[in-house]
Amino acid sequence: MFELSKSAIQKCKEELDCHVGSVVTDNAANVNKMRKLLEQENELKLVTYGCTAHILNLLAHDLEIDNIKEHVVNIVKYFRDNHYASARYRQEGEQRLVMPQDTRWNTMCNCLKTYIKNWPALMKICEVDREQIDVRVREKVSNLTLKRSAEDLLARLEPIAVALDKAQSDKCTIAEAVNMWKELITTLSNGRDALTAVRKRYDQVITQAHLLANLIHPSLQGKLLSEEVNNAMDYANERFPSLVPVIMKFQAKSPPFHAFKFSDFVTKSMSAVEWWRSHSNVLDSDVISAAQQLLSAVASSSGVEQVFSSYGIVHSKLRNRLGTEKAAKLVFLSKTINAHKMDVYDDTNDQDA
């Protein structure tokens, strides 16, 4: 994997004139080792780290309450697969019940939401049609302890689900991921076990590169880092020494970083990379390059996973003789066209608003 990654990075540089500055993967042991080997290659000058979305999914598993998932899934599965129960539910239920899927990480949260919201309808069916409904399902639906436990589990999982949706966006960077995890720590601070779990996962996924990116982000400015600022500066001194005095001016808002450049209007009108590029005429190119490398690093590998899904649609059983190069071009066109459609849709919504 190390050799394949290295050759792909070299190919990007030679054929596409594109410099790869960061590598994000899942957190399996073999790819963790690959990332370390890539980071040790001095000529590549890479920032490597694990996928935030993957760790958030693991955090959701850490916070599961014993047996609740199993019982809720049994109820949902019964009302989905049993002909009579399914027909009665369609008459009474407000929305379709959701079955959780391992490959779709937020579906457990959606399963709990639909179960709790439609619990009165399920309860009514079990009372009115008690002779036709399986007695074990009736007992589970009428079990108020199970319902309350499901509500407690949903309260734990919902903040993680919101963070997971953000992390899986192509635009979520490692700088923003730090604030996202900090907010999770605050939200889940009421439960000791939950707080311990989220801090453990935070330490697992947040690297010095994350902290430094957060520190130099024009709108985030490392405001939530506290003592971690020194950790970020140590990393900057080791990897990007020319960036250290610039960061100190950035923090002091001294020239060329005038106070008006940090206003909400300015920082929301452009990306963090564009903000730093606007200083190209007053800062050294290696400083701009370092800022761009850190601030363009995406938080998760979800974009690649979505490409795999698109590839599965293009290279289907009916089109299984497509060559690799042609299939890759078709996937590229598919993703580009869909992205364009989404941009048009967003623009239309903004005009309507």
pLDDT tens track for 15-41? 888 889 999 998 888 999 999 999 888
Q: Residue 270: inside a domain, yes or no?
A: yes
Residue 348 pLDDT exceeds 80: no
For residues 251 and 234, give the distance between their C-alpha atoms in angstroms, rounded to a whole number: 16
For residues 85-94, average pLDDT: 87
Q: Residue 185: inside a domain, yes or no?
A: no
pLDDT above 90: percentage of residues in the chain: 65
Single-letter residue type at 103: T
Residue 6 pLDDT exceeds 70: yes
Q: What is the mean pLDDT of the chain?
A: 89
What's the distance, CA 326 to chain centroid? 30
Q: Residue 183: inside a domain, yes or no?
A: no
Q: Residue 82: inside a domain, yes or no?
A: yes
Residue 141 pLDDT exceeds 90: yes
For residues 152-178, average pLDDT: 91
pLDDT value for 353: 46
Task: Report which DSSP code applies to 241.
Answer: T
Geometric angle at alpha carbon 101, from 98 and 107, rounded to 5°: 50
Same domain? 65 vs 142: yes
Same domain? 81 vs 146: yes
Token pair belonging to 133: 């409904």
Domain stops at, among 113, 136, 165: 165
Same domain? 151 vs 79: yes
Q: Residue 333: inside a domain, yes or no?
A: no
pLDDT value for 313: 83
Backbone angles phi, psi at 166, to 5 degrees: -65, -45
Q: Residue 343: inside a domain, yes or no?
A: no
Same domain? 73 vs 155: yes
For residues 122 and 139, give the distance between their C-alpha atoms in angstroms, rounded to a whole number: 12
Q: Show Cβ contacts of residue 200 under 8 Å, excluding neighbours closer than 6 positions.
A: 62
For residues 170-192, average pLDDT: 90
Q: Show Cβ contacts of residue 192 under 8 Å, excluding neighbours closer than 6 positions.
A: none
pLDDT above 70: percentage of residues in the chain: 96
For residues 267-271, average pLDDT: 93
The number of domains in the chain is: 3
Q: Show Cβ contacts of residue 134 under 8 Å, excluding neighbours closer than 6 positions.
A: 78, 82
Record the pTM: 0.84
pLDDT value for 342: 57
Same domain? 149 vs 222: no
pLDDT value for 53: 92
Domain assignment of residue 39, given as a range: 1-50
pLDDT value for 346: 55
Same domain? 67 vs 37: no
Least confidently predicted of 60-69, 199-208, 241-250, 288-297:
60-69
Domain stops at, among 165, 186, 219: 165
For residues 164 and 179, give the distance between their C-alpha atoms in angstroms, rounded to a whole number: 13
Domain stops at, among 13, 31, 50: 50
